[in-house]
Amino acid sequence: MKEGVARKAIYRKDYTAYPWEVHRLDLHFDIGIETTIVRAEMALQLRDGARAPQDIVLNGSDLQLVSIMLNDRVLNTQDYIVEGETLTIPGAPQNSVLKTEVEIHPAGNSAFEGLYLSGDFLLTQCEAQGFRKITWFPDRPDVMTTYRVTLEADKTGFPVLLSNGNQTDAGELPGGRHWVRWQDPFPKPSYLFALVAGDLSLVEDHFTTRSGRDVALRIYVEAENLDRCEHAMESLVNAMSWDEERFDLEYDLDIYHIVATNDFNMGAMENKSLNIFNSKYVLARPDTATDADYQGIEGVIGHEYFHNWTGNRVTCQDWFQLTLKEGLTVFRDEEFSADMQSRAVKRIRVVRDLRGRQFPEDDGPMSHPIRPDHYVEINNFYTATVYQKGATIVRMYHTRLGESGFQKGMKLYFERHDGQAVTCDDFLAAMADANAARKSSQVTACPSCRSKYSFMPFWKPLSPSRV
């Protein structure tokens, strides 16, 4: 929060859909450490029911605007309004193509959101609202679109240029420069965008999916860490097999990247096909790592991989639904670890962790529901309650419905919502409809947390405990 600027609370009940559909986003990055130039072109169409003309409202932060064009007309400063983190173009027609060019400054970005310098290379962190530090865009999870990304840079400083999706083209440029193009065919929200540019070394393996797709698995690390990637790669292969066998979910692209860096200040991030990890969750060698390190790597590699379906293919309508992707994916990674190791030991660890971290949170001033009703700063809601208690609520579905009932619910959830941004209620409805369960009119709230059970109101909790 900027000093002296009071930020207003955002309420879940105030949600309104974005009036525009973004049909595609083309991004071009001219990469430099001090200054990177970002050109964006997006095709917008008003949703059914929205009457033209409508304002186009975009989010941006710390962007130096070079130019902006709407339907090939250059806009002057009187044609749009910039207020705080929003840019408004009044009265745009039904179908609009918007082109912007901005300059950003990765080396000077100390917020570690958006594009920033980590050691000698550049990388991104966009969850929850970092994409607005890269370009003007409706930076909200319910605006999903397909991305085509072209990265251009000096070949010596940035031999590796990565983004989401499959690589579709590449070439040389004069002056020792080169370019690479990436296309992600699956619509995604902006928080899943990623870019990595730098001099990184590579460990490669392959995985063949059940339907026969050959997937290149690539882990990029700093050169001195090349001998410590074996366990992470093995964990990734195991996670891909496990998700096919247990959840009937296959990987959907030709390539899967993991980039590990010492300087990533989040644990790990599930950007579509380009996960970025703190090295701690990737690197291990028998002479330096403990059993707990090995188990931690397996769990986190699995967690980020499992997001490909629970989070990426089906994402959250708004940030209030964070537990929809995190609670569900933590449940999935707990089950993965239980199947890979000892189920009993894993369960004891999960409960000890819950009691050690989440119970105190619920007992103190930080107590909040797994799906909050309002927030001032969403980054403060990446909590043990949203993650671990959220996973426990999902476990209660599983306990009540059994493995086959739960899997029926998951199947229906993906059939209904693949490619959509949805809510916890949609998950509940899929679970209930697939199992013909009782609906919410028969709710009995948990006596100890009442509204905190809003995620799963259609049955009475197992016991009046806090989880």
Q: Which is nearer to Zn ion, 44 or 269 (CB)?
A: 269
Name the minimum Å distance from CB 454 to Zn ion: 21
Q: Which of residues 310-329 bind Zn ion (CB under 5 A)?
A: 326, 329
Q: Which is nearer to Zn ion, 87 or 269 (CB)?
A: 269
Q: Which of residues 416-455 bind Zn ion (CB under 5 A)?
A: none
Q: Which is nearer to Zn ion, 328 or 430 (CB)?
A: 328
Using the structure block, give the residue that is written with the tokens 């476990």.
395
Q: How many helices (H) and strands (E) does the chain have?
A: 8, 24
Q: Are strands 201-208 and 214-221 parallel, antiparallel or unpaired?
A: antiparallel
Q: Which of residues 18-57 bind Zn ion (CB under 5 A)?
A: none
Omega before residue 461 within 30° of 0, cis: no
d(CA 35, CA 63): 11
Q: Which is nearer to Zn ion, 142 or 270 (CB)?
A: 270
Name the minimum Å distance from CB 22 to Zn ion: 24
Structure tokens at 423: 């809510």
Give catalytic status of residue 335 as yes or no: no
Instruction: Look up residue 434 and give its amino acid.
Output: A
d(CA 357, CA 363): 10
d(CA 293, CA 195): 27
Q: What burial letters (b/e) apply to 79-110, b meaning 16+ CB within 10 Å? A: ebeeeebebebeebeeebebbbbbebbbeebe
Q: Which of residues 326-345 bind Zn ion (CB under 5 A)?
A: 326, 329
Q: Which is nearer to Zn ion, 323 or 329 (CB)?
A: 329
Name the minimum Å distance from CB 326 to Zn ion: 5
Under 8 Å between Cβ of 86 and 58:
yes
List C-alpha distances in Å: 381 to 169, 326, 385, 422.
39, 11, 8, 18
Q: Which is nearer to Zn ion, 149 or 316 (CB)?
A: 316
d(CA 45, CA 52): 10
Name the minimum Å distance from CB 236 to Zn ion: 16
Q: Which of residues 250-309 bind Zn ion (CB under 5 A)?
A: none
d(CA 288, CA 85): 46
Which candidate in 222, 298, 304, 334 is catalytic?
Answer: 304
Name the minimum Å distance from CB 455 to Zn ion: 16
Q: Which is nearer to Zn ion, 190 or 329 (CB)?
A: 329
Name the minimum Å distance from CB 350 to Zn ion: 15
Of 107, 118, 103, 117, the C-alpha closest to 29 is 103
Name the minimum Å distance from CB 384 to Zn ion: 13
Q: Considering CB under 5 A, how many residues would be counted as binding Zn ion?
A: 2
d(CA 293, CA 234): 14
d(CA 250, CA 255): 13
Return the DSSP state at 376.
S
List residues with catalytic annotation.
304
Residues that bind Zn ion (CB under 5 A): 326, 329
